[in-house]
C-alpha cells in the first residue's frame, strides 16, 4: 500500500491510542477502524484491505510509517499482536439467493403460524425450517391448529436451542412428536460478533445434535456429510443481507401469488420484525455501516447464511 508519508500527520499516526477499549478488543475491527479513519485511505483501499488478515495489515501499516517513532511502532505492534488475527468471513454479493426464501412470522400467535405452515406446505417447498420454539402449552385452539399443521407436513425442521445435553430449549413434546426433523438454531459469538457455528455436536455421552443448516444442506449437498467434522466450529460465510433473500411478510403470503417463489425452495420461517428482537451483531457490519450500538442482522438471516455456507461447500 502506497502512503503519502509527507502529509501523514502525527495525530493520524496515533489513532490507535484513541480507540476505546471495546473497539480495540474487537480484533477483527481494529485494523479496519484504523484504515477507515486514515485520511489518505480511500474507500477502495479500505475494501481491498478487508480481504486480508486485518491485524497483520495493521502491523505492516504501522511499521511502514516513517512518522512512527520506534517506541510508537513497538507499542502499537504489541497491542495489536494481542488481538486475534481471524478475519470476518464476509463476501457480500448482489444477486438474490436462488434456493432460500424467508417468511416472517411477525408477532403472530400459534394459530397464525399454523396457517403459515399450511400455506407454505401447499406450495410444495423442499424444506420448512422453523426458527421458533413452542415451550409451553397455551390456548387449546391455537395449539390444536399448530399440532395439525406440523403433523400434516413431512418437510419441517423445528428449531431448538442447545447449551449442553441437559440444557436445551425445545418445543413441548406435543409439537415435537409431529415434526419431521429437528435442528439446533444457535450460533457462536466471537469477539462480540456472531461468526461461527457447529454443524454437528456429539456429546461425550454419545448424543448427537445437528444444526438446522446441516439437517437441510446434507440432503442437497452430499459433500456436507464428509466435510463437516463432528464438534468442529466453522466460520459463517456471510454472502447476503436480508435484501438479498426473497422475504415475504407472513400476513401477506398468498398461495396463488407466491407459489412460484416457494415451490421447491428451502423456506425458513422465523422473526424478521417489525422490532429488533432476535437481531444480532455479525461480521456484516464490517462491510456495511451500521449504528455502533444497534445489532445488524436477524437470526433468521444468520441461519440462511449458514445454510448457504454448507450448500457451497466443495
The DSSP call for residue 238 is B
Same domain? 124 vs 182: yes
Averaged pLDDT, 138-152: 96
Last residue of a domain, one of 81, 114, 134: 81
Q: What is the pLDDT of residues 104-120, one digit of tens each?
A: 999 999 999 999 999 99
| pLDDT given for residue 191 in this prediction | 94
Same domain? 167 vs 29: no
Is the pLDDT at 25 greater than 70? The verdict is no
Residue 41 lies in a domain: yes
Stated as kind and residue range, the H or E segment containing 130 is: strand 127-130
What does pLDDT average to over the chain?
Answer: 81
**8 A C-beta contact, residue 151 and residue 178:** yes
| pLDDT given for residue 264 in this prediction | 97
| pLDDT given for residue 72 in this prediction | 57
Percent of the chain with pLDDT over 70: 72
**8 A C-beta contact, residue 104 and residue 249:** yes
Q: Among 82-86, 115-119, 303-307, where is mean pLDDT lowest?
A: 82-86
Q: What is the pLDDT of residues 177-222, one digit of tens each?
A: 999 899 999 999 999 999 999 999 998 888 899 999 999 999 999 8
Query: Where residue 83 falls among pLDDT bands split at 50, 70, 90?
Result: very low
Query: Where residue 40 falls among pLDDT bands split at 50, 70, 90?
Result: very low
Is the pLDDT at 301 greater than 90? The verdict is yes
For residue 260, what are the contacts with CB-CB under 8 A and spacing of at least 6? Answer: none
Higher pLDDT, 112 or 30: 112
Residue 91 lies in a domain: no
Residue 77 lies in a domain: yes
Same domain? 112 vs 151: yes
Higher pLDDT, 17 or 66: 66
**8 A C-beta contact, residue 35 and residue 57:** yes
| pLDDT given for residue 53 in this prediction | 44
Same domain? 49 vs 182: no
Q: What's the angle, vertex CA 171, arms to CA 169 and CA 174, rounded to 5?
A: 150
| pLDDT given for residue 38 in this prediction | 44
Residue of 138, 130, 136, 137 whose CA lies nearest to 113 = 130
Last residue of a domain, one of 25, 52, 81: 81
Task: Name residue, grid cell 437470526.
Answer: 299
Instruction: Give the structural domain span for 124.
Output: 100-311
Domain count, the chain: 2
Amino acid at each position: 500500500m502506497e502512503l503519502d508519508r509527507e502529509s501523514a500527520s502525527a495525530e493520524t499516526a496515533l489513532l490507535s491510542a484513541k480507540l476505546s477499549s471495546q473497539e480495540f478488543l474487537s480484533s477483527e475491527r481494529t485494523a479496519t477502524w484504523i484504515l477507515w479513519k486514515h485520511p489518505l485511505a480511500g474507500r477502495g483501499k479500505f475494501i481491498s484491505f478487508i480481504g486480508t488478515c486485518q491485524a497483520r495489515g495493521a502491523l505492516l501499516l504501522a511499521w511502514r510509517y516513517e512518522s512512527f517513532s520506534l517506541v510508537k511502532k513497538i507499542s502499537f505492534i504489541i497491542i495489536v499482536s494481542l488481538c486475534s488475527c481471524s478475519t470476518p468471513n464476509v463476501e457480500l454479493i448482489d444477486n438474490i439467493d436462488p434456493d432460500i426464501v424467508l417468511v416472517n412470522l411477525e408477532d403472530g400467535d400459534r394459530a397464525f403460524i399454523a396457517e403459515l405452515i399450511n400455506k407454505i406446505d401447499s406450495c410444495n417447498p423442499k424444506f420448512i425450517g422453523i426458527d421458533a420454539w413452542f415451550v409451553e402449552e397455551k390456548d387449546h385452539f391455537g395449539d390444536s391448529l399448530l399440532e395439525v399443521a406440523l403433523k400434516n407436513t413431512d418437510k419441517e425442521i423445528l428449531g431448538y436451542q442447545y447449551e449442553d445435553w441437559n440444557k436445551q430449549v425445545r418445543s413441548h413434546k406435543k409439537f415435537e412428536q409431529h415434526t419431521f426433523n429437528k435442528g439446533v438454531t444457535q450460533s457462536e459469538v466471537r469477539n462480540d460478533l456472531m461468526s461461527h457455528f457447529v454443524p454437528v455436536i456429539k456429546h461425550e455421552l454419545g448424543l448427537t445434535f445437528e444444526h438446522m443448516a446441516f439437517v437441510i444442506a446434507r440432503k442437497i449437498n452430499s459433500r456436507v456429510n464428509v466435510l463437516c467434522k463432528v464438534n468442529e466450529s466453522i466460520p459463517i460465510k456471510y454472502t447476503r443481507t436480508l435484501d438479498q433473500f426473497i422475504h415475504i411478510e407472513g400476513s401477506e403470503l398468498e398461495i396463488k401469488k407466491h407459489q412460484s417463489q416457494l415451490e421447491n425452495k428451502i423456506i425458513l420461517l422465523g422473526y424478521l420484525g417489525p422490532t429488533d428482537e432476535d437481531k444480532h451483531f455479525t461480521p456484516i457490519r464490517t462491510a456495511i455501516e451500521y449504528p455502533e450500538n444497534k445489532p445488524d442482522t436477524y437470526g433468521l438471516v444468520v441461519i440462511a447464511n449458514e445454510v448457504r455456507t454448507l450448500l457451497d461447500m466443495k
